[in-house]
């Protein structure tokens, strides 16, 4: 099975979120479609902005739709 660009983008965003101290404890789901990354899940308020910054920094991401629920 070939890895698509969106699959690779999602993996990179997920890995970066898990390893970043600002978001590693957050529950963030990542979906990708044609370079648009959608972030959902339950996060502390401080992690919302960080998650968006992290996603935007990943190569191939064209836009980020940040829709988390604050816990």
Instruction: Transcribe 29-53 into DSSP letters.
Output: EEEEETTEEEEEEEE-HHHHHHHHH
CATH of the domain at 59: 3.30.1340.30
Q: Which domain holds residue 50?
A: 5-70
pLDDT 10s digits, 29-57: 999 999 999 999 988 888 999 999 999 99
Q: With H, G, I as helix, E, B as strand and everything else as coil, classify residue 12.
A: helix
Query: Higher-confidence residue: 8 or 4?
Result: 8
Instruction: Give the number of other Cβ atoms within 10 Å of residue 22's Cβ.
Output: 17
Say what the pLDDT of residue 35 is. Answer: 92
Domain count across the chain: 1
Instruction: Check whether 3 has a pLDDT greater than 60.
Output: no
Q: What is the distance between the alpha carbons of residues 71 and 64, in angstroms, rounded to a whole number?
A: 21
Q: What is the distance between the alpha carbons of residues 9 and 58, in angstroms, rounded to a whole number?
A: 7
């Amino acid at each position: 099975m070939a890895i698509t660009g969106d699959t690779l983008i999602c993996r990179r965003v997920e890995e970066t979120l898990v390893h970043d101290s600002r978001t590693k404890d957050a529950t963030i789901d990542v979906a990708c479609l044609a370079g648009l990354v959608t972030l959902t899940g339950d996060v502390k308020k401080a992690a919302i902005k960080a998650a968006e910054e992290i996603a935007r920094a990943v190569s191939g991401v064209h836009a980020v739709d940040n829709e988390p629920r604050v816990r």
